[in-house]
Amino acid sequence: MVYNSTRLFAYLENLKERYFNLAEMAKLSKEEFLADKRNSDIVFANLYIALNIILDAGSHIIVKNGQKRPGTYREIIDELGKLGVIPADFAERVKGLAGYRNRMAHGYIDITPEELYQIITENLDDIKKFIGYFSRLLT
């Protein structure tokens, strides 16, 4: 697998930081989380950056492996599965994160604190899995 290890390492370290921040917020009860609007702002910012890192790192890996730059974020996830960077079944299951990234960028006004809390308490493991898959490339 070809990639710029310095660049991939930087993506990975930043992704780990975002994951840690989100995991800390996931420790709050729903009531605690919703009691302070700053909590949803913290989650929104860290989740948005984490999704962008996943997609940027994925695009980097794809292009460095001689593939054409994907035209959509969803294609990045699909191609990572085809290249074996992530398991194909995982790629199929998480390709919706590309659409969620777009929703965060363009439909942010409709995202609720309850929705953000649900994501960090039910789907945070997906980001952790990306950390593991990207880490394997550096070993």
Report whether 65 contacts 71 (CB < 8 A).
no
Residue 59 has pLDDT above 90, yes or no: yes
Q: Say yes or no to pLDDT of 25 above 90.
A: yes
Tokens representing 84 are: 């074996």
Q: How confident is the model at residue 3 (pLDDT cuts 50, 70, 90)?
A: confident
Say if residue 1's pLDDT is above 90.
Answer: no
Task: Read off the pLDDT of each residue in 13-30 and give the average, rounded to a whole number.
Answer: 98
Distance, in Å, from the CA atom of 132 to the CA atom of 84, rounded to the nearest integer, reads: 13
pLDDT score, position 65: 86
pTM score, whole prediction: 0.94
| 5-26 helix and 37-64 helix, angle to the nearest 10 degrees | 160
User: Does pLDDT of 81 surpass 90?
Assistant: yes
Which backbone phi and psi does 127 adopt, to 5 degrees? -65, -40
pLDDT, one tens digit per residue, over 111-135 is 999 999 999 999 999 999 999 999 9
